[in-house]
Structure 1
Amino acid sequence: MMGVRVLCFVLMVLITPYGWYTWVFALGAVFLPYVAVVFANVGATDRVARSVNPERQITAPVAAEPAPAPTERVLRIQESAPPPRRGEGE
């Protein structure tokens, strides 16, 4: 369709004397992209939509025993007072 559009542009400019057919070529050059997009979009929707079962498809394995509790590892950070400056507190 884009090749036909380019041909419409070329024929619109090259064929003289200008007349009613010039307008036909101009309309073809203007509206062919719209028609091409409509045809492309219609072709994309020809698939049949199917419903999806909302239930879970994969079952999780049953755990035999609970996972062991993690050991407590806590890192504690405390700020200490800065060392006294030289000349202070002496």
Structure 2
Amino acid sequence: MKTSTHAQSATSIPRAPRDEVGSRSMRYLIMMGVRVACFILMVAIQPYGWYTWVFGAAAIFLPYIAVVLANVGQDGKAVHAENPERELEAAAPAAREPEASAPPVIRITETHPAAVPPGGDAS
């Protein structure tokens, strides 16, 4: 029997924020490590020049950027609905022989409100 660490999803629902805590924490800690490195490089590299200001600016602004990126999570990624018919067709084409007494398939589609003409019918 095959075992997986990730649960298989049958929907297009995004992951829960509590499930993303590890990746967000790691991203934040990496950025804070880069901030500390920038601060050390700003002080340690001699002679001072334009790069000193770059390291200083990075050390000042990286905490804000790290917090924003850690709080974004997966909200920025688009989640698209899965088409179940594609999976059904790929499962077993030979086993899908239509029966004579099988009820007809009813398909429901949605239209965007802007696509319907004013006073018109959506069908």
TM-score (structure 2 length as normaliser): 0.36
Larger radius of gyration: 1
Which has the larger helix fraction?
2
Q: For CA contacts below 8 A with separation 6 or more, give which structure has more relative contact order.
A: 2
TM-score (structure 1 length as normaliser): 0.48
